[in-house]
Amino acid sequence: MTNNVFGKNLKKIRQKKYPSQKAFSEIINIPYTTYAQYEAGKREPNFDKLVLIADALTISMDALFKGTTPPSSINYIGQSLKDNLLPDEELIDYTEENDGFRIKTASGTLDLPQSLCEEIIANSLVKQKEYIRTQLAKELKNQR
């Protein structure tokens, strides 16, 4: 990763959603010192870690390597809210408002800061990947 483009892009993108390296490293379940070395260009993550980081930041890997900014995350967050955050509710509408989201459901309207939505989604993606890996490991063990 020449000239630490990856580390600089990672830091820039991470800071928009998570001000602290430590907080983000905990979300993606990577030791803080390891994560800090990624941003400093002293260490490179393997592919699995790259996927984990990109998923947690809800960005493409292109954004990490090329510094391209992803399109608005409103559709991603709205779909995730529909699929995951409101299982007993009917999602009527969601709009991006003042650095947050206004969610209209059958029960009423809720205003959420974008950072909270993205944190919930990032945590759910991490947990989902952990669950999938656990289940695959169990299946492989059972088949042996």
What are the boundaries of each domain within the chain? 2-66, 74-143
What fold, for 2-66? Answer: 434 Repressor (Amino-terminal Domain) (1.10.260)
Which pTM value belongs to this model?
Answer: 0.48
Q: What is the 3-state secondary structure (H, E, C) of the chain?
A: CHHHHHHHHHHHHHHHHCCCHHHHHHHCCCCHHHHHHHHHCCCCCCHHHHHHHHHHCCCCHHHHHHCCCCCCCHHHHHHHHHHHHCCCCCEEEEEEECCEEEEEECCEEEEEEHHHHHHHHHHHHHHHHHHHHHHHHHHHHHHC
In this structure, which amino acid lies at residue 105? T
Query: How many other C-beta atoms can be found within 10 angstroms of the C-beta atom of residue 66?
Result: 12
- pLDDT string in tens for the chain (144-residue length): 446 788 988 998 888 888 899 999 999 999 999 999 999 999 999 988 988 898 888 887 777 787 654 444 556 666 666 666 566 667 666 666 666 777 777 777 877 777 777 677 667 667 777 777 787 778 778 876
